[in-house]
Amino acid sequence: QSALTQPASVSGSPGQSITISCTGTSSDVGGYNYVSWYQQHPGKAPKLMIYDVSNRPSGVSNRFSGSKSGNTASLTISGLQAEDEADYYCSSYTSIYVFGTGTKVTVL
């Protein structure tokens, strides 16, 4: 049950696109299409942004998109906005759940 690996921080200017990676193994990320992504603003509860690798729940902006290649999943935020500054976590389901180490997104 090792945590999935994410970069500690990613930054970008308003309007730019950024991508956050989430690396696991063939036993979790690579073995199942059950990767989800969560956004967490300081002092707030996490919010679901992406499920099943690339699906957006109702109400989530289409600026957020997800993908997967092998053992690495990715979250891309396009048209970066100030409100996107937050921590982001990936998660994979494998009969139990494991979260990523988290990535702090900074809007320059």
Which residues of the shown chain bind another protein in the complex (CB under 8 A)? 1, 3, 34, 36, 38, 40, 45-48, 51-52, 55, 57, 89, 91, 93, 95-102
Q: Read off the tokens for 52.
A: 């099943």
User: What is the β-pairing status of strands 97-99 and 72-77?
Assistant: unpaired
13 vs 49, beta carbon nearer another protein: 49
11 vs 97, beta carbon nearer another protein: 97
Closest by alpha carbon to 103, among 86, 91, 84?
86
96 vs 108, beta carbon nearer another protein: 96
CA pair distance 92, 90, nearest whole angstrom: 7
Least separation in angstroms between residue 98's CB and another protein is: 7
CA pair distance 46, 65, nearest whole angstrom: 17
Q: Work out the burial of residue 35: count CB atoms within 10 Å of its CB; fewer than 13 is exposed, 13-18 middle, 19 or more buried.
A: buried
Least separation in angstroms between residue 16's CB and another protein is: 25
Least separation in angstroms between residue 99's CB and another protein is: 4
Least separation in angstroms between residue 75's CB and another protein is: 14
